[in-house]
Amino acid sequence: MEKTARTDSNHTHPDLEVGREALYGLLGYPLGHSFSRTYFNNKFAQEGINAEYVNFELPAIEQLPQVLATHPQLQGFNVTIPYKQAVIAYLDDITPEAREIGAVNVVRVTRQGQDVHLNGYNSDIIGFCDSLRPMLKASHRQALVLGTGGASKAVCCGLEQLGIGWTYVSRHATSGQLTYADLTDEVMHSHTLIVNCTPLGMFPNVGTCPDIPYNRLTPDHLLYDLVYNPEPTLFMQRGAAQGATTKGGLEMLHRQAEASWQFWHGKD
């Protein structure tokens, strides 16, 4: 895939500790909600890995080439909102699974001289399936997927792998998906798994949640929230008040982070 033309804008990271053997990071904007930096730096400290993980909080994806140019020890990075789809234009290769999903959240950086080669992967599907699987019951055969962004596409692929049917729910009426106004008693009864793929409820906007009819939830429902900060989210709290089982995104974060580490080290 042809890369987007490089930009001349300068972007260096003030927290970079010079002399580290390896550098990894998180690309997104904003990043105040993210636990990835703490997770990986704790991992490096505990396992004696000579590396550092930093945040690349870029207001524009066009600054990515300059990040690569000014951080020659960068070996890989994660990608989060809002760049999981936009980053694809900068990649040299992308796995078939990530291409099918249409979103990348892991990039491996390989350097040969002045040439920089970027490989794109998606570890969201691994983290989601591994964390959801133990909670599933026979009644969880149909899911409502709230939101239609890059994370939701990975979730839908994961649901298909788990043998679960799914339907998108969006604020906007589009063929093949529901709006929040369409969530009738019948729909809620037949869809006992509800996955929040929107950023609603994410820190610092902890007082928000998807506009589903919470009064129609039952103990048969399982609510899974990709948001992990805070935990529990308002979405989870309102579901639990109706007797529903709830799960936040922290375990998914940890599992996809470990999958990222494998991708960065060439274990495809």
**Whole-angstrom Cα distance, residue 38 to residue 44?**
10
Q: From CA 187, how far away is CA 160, in angstroms rounded?
A: 19
DSSP-based three-state secondary structure for 158: helix
> Per-residue confidence at 175, pLDDT binned at 50, 70, 90?
confident
Query: Is 267 annotated in the active site?
Result: no
What would the mean pLDDT of 240-247 be, rounded to a whole number? 98
Residue 10 has pLDDT above 70, yes or no: no
Q: How much is the average pLDDT of 246-255? A: 95
Contacts of 189 (CB under 8 A, 6+ apart): 216
**What is the residue-averaged pLDDT of the chain?**
91
| Weakest mean pLDDT among 22-26, 35-39, 138-142, 192-196 | 35-39
Cα 40 from chain centre: 16
Q: In the block, which residue shows the tokens 């909102």?
A: 81
Instruction: For 15-43, give the DSSP string.
Output: T--TT-SEEEEEEES--TT--HHHHHHHH
82-131 pLDDT, tens digit per residue, is 999 999 999 999 999 999 999 999 999 999 888 999 999 999 999 999 99
Asked if 26 and 80 count as a contact pair (C-beta separation under 8 A), the reply is: yes
- The pLDDT assigned to 33 comes to 79
Q: Is the pLDDT of residue 137 over 60?
A: yes
- Cis preceding linkage at 30, omega within 30: yes
Query: By percentage, how much of the chain surpasses pLDDT 90?
Result: 84
Please report, rounded to a whole number, the percentage of residues in the chain having pLDDT higher than 70. 92
Q: For residue 20, is pLDDT > 60?
A: no
Q: According to the model, what pLDDT value does residue 3 have?
A: 53
Structural tokens at position 256: 């996809």
> How high is the pLDDT of residue 15?
45
pLDDT score at 173: 86
Which helix (H) or strand (E) covers residue 171, if one does? none
Query: DSSP label at 149?
Result: S
Q: Are 123 and 98 in contact (CB under 8 A)?
A: no
Query: Would you say residue 14 has pLDDT above 50?
Result: no
174 vs 219 pLDDT, higher one: 219
Q: Which of 84, 137, 153, 267 is catalytic?
A: 84
The radius of gyration computed from the CA coordinates of the chain, to the nearest angstrom, equals 19
pLDDT at 16: 44
Q: Are 35 and 74 in contact (CB under 8 A)?
A: no
pLDDT for the residue 150: 75
- The pTM of the full predicted model, rounded to 2 decimals, is 0.81
